[in-house]
Every structure is written in structure tokens, then in C-alpha cells.
Amino acid sequence: MNLHKEGYKIIFISTLILVGILYGISSLTDLLWLKGVILVPVLVLFILVVRFFRNPPRFSDKTPNGVVSPCDGKVVVIEEVEESEYFKDKRIQISIFMSPLNVHVNRNPVSGIVNYFKYHPGKYLVAWHPKSSTENERTTTVIKTDSGTDILFRQIAGAVARRIRWYIKTKDNVTQGNEMGFIKFGSRVDVFIPIGSEINVEIGQKVKAAESLLSVLK
């Protein structure tokens, strides 16, 4: 299993804690049932931490003018909204919720030039809260495709996810499906596409970063 670089420090610390607990159990008691009661939940938690930072290989859908999912998770919003930060007009918003069990690597939904990037400090409302897209800690990225269409997407922190990482900056030339960031511990990503675009997902659908086609631009 490939592990993401964002997890190296946390996994190292978790390993030290696990070793310390194992040593402590061995020193304090010879009762097997008591060792099991303590050890089993600790091992489960350790496995979940390691699994959270998994980084499986992904191969981007190459549909012409396609917009792929920037993250793993479940589609929770598909609606027409007023995008007030960059476009200042109506767009179709597709929101994907990531649970702590999902892969949390974020990927570029399209190829092109990063026209705009901004980090916003903010609140830590639960990720499904209607105002999380505009009030929570978040990043906003706009990529202009080769055909000249701007696609905006946001990494959004949640009540548990309080650490957003990004690896891109304005003027970067990026490739669809390549890594652009990481959100630690459950959150959400919003994608804003032009009105009239073909929508290829539905509410409740599970999607995978790079591999699931969200939309085809007209």
C-alpha cells in the first residue's frame, strides 16, 4: 500500500505510541484477556490511521472536455448557485463529501493553467452545512482549460478536518488527475462548472478522484 507524504509524521508518532502501549501492557499485566481488551482497539485505531493516508494510483478519465472528480467520496449537492468569489454569476455546483474512510488525496479536475488561487482562513462548520462553502477554512482554485473554460473548485475544511494542504500556485500548468492537495480527516470539495454543461453524476453517487467523470463541458 502506497502511503501519502502527509501521513509520514503522524504514522511515525502513532507507531511510537503503539510500541509504548505494547511495552506497557507487557510490563503491567500477564492477564491475556486484559491485554486483548486494551490492545485490540489500539490496533484498530492504528490501522485506521495508516489506512487514512493511503495513496492508490489513479488514472484520469480522458473524455474530451471532461471534468473529473477531484476527490473520493459521495456526491451530496448538484444545484445551480450564485458563485460570488470569482465568477460572480450562476454556475452548477457539484459537492463531494469525504468521510474519514475515503482516500483524501485531492486531484486536478481538468488540465490547464491555474488562473486563480486563494487560501481563506475561516470557521470549522460540519462539511455538509450550507454555509461551509463560504465560511469555513478553504482554498479556491480556478483552472483555465485549453478550450478557454474556467473551472473553479474548493477544498473545504470541516468540523474534524482542520488541515488543508495544496501543491499548486497561480500560473502553474497542471494535468487532469494529478495531485493538487490533501485534506486531513473528512471534509468536502466543491466544483463549479458552466450552466448548460452535461452532468454525469447524481446525488448519493460514490465517486473516485480522477477516475469518475462529473461533467462534460459544452
Q: What is the pLDDT of residue 123?
A: 66
The whole-chain average pLDDT of the chain stands at 88
| Crossing angle (nearest 10°) for helices 32-52 and 8-28 | 180
- Per the rule left: phi > 0, alpha: psi between -120 and 50, beta: everything else, 112 is left
Task: Name the catalytic one among 95, 187, 212, 215.
Answer: 187
Residues 6 or more apart in contact with residue 42 via CB below 8 angstroms: 18, 21
**Strand partners of residue 90:** 82
pLDDT digits (tens, 9 = 90+) for 24-54: 877 766 767 677 777 888 888 888 888 888 9
**Which secondary structure element, helix H or strand E, spans residue 96, and what is its range?**
strand 89-98
| Burial of residue 78, with CB atoms counted within 10 A of its CB: 0-12 exposed, 13-18 middle, 19 or more buried | middle
Q: What is the pLDDT of residue 129?
A: 57
Q: What is the pLDDT of residues 82-127, one digit of tens each?
A: 999 999 999 999 999 998 889 999 999 999 999 999 999 866 666 5
pLDDT interval class at 164 (50, 70, 90) = confident
Of the ranges 2-6, 15-19, 188-192, which is most confident?
188-192
Residue pLDDT, tens place only, 193-203 = 999 999 999 99
Q: Is the pLDDT of residue 9 over 80?
A: yes
Output the pLDDT for position 100. Answer: 83
Q: Is 112 exposed, middle or buried (0-12, 13-18, 19+ CB in 10 A)?
A: buried
Residue-level pLDDT at 63? 86
Residue-wise pLDDT for 134-153, tens only, equals: 667 889 999 999 999 999 99
List Cβ neighbours of 207 (8 Å cut-off, separation of 6 or more): 69, 71, 72, 73, 74, 75, 96, 201, 214
On the question of pLDDT at 68 being above 80, the answer is: yes
Active site residue 99: no
pLDDT of residue 175: 95
Q: What is the pLDDT of residue 134?
A: 62
Output 186 or 207, whichever has higher pLDDT.
Answer: 207
d(CA 20, CA 41): 15
Mean pLDDT of the region 71-80: 96
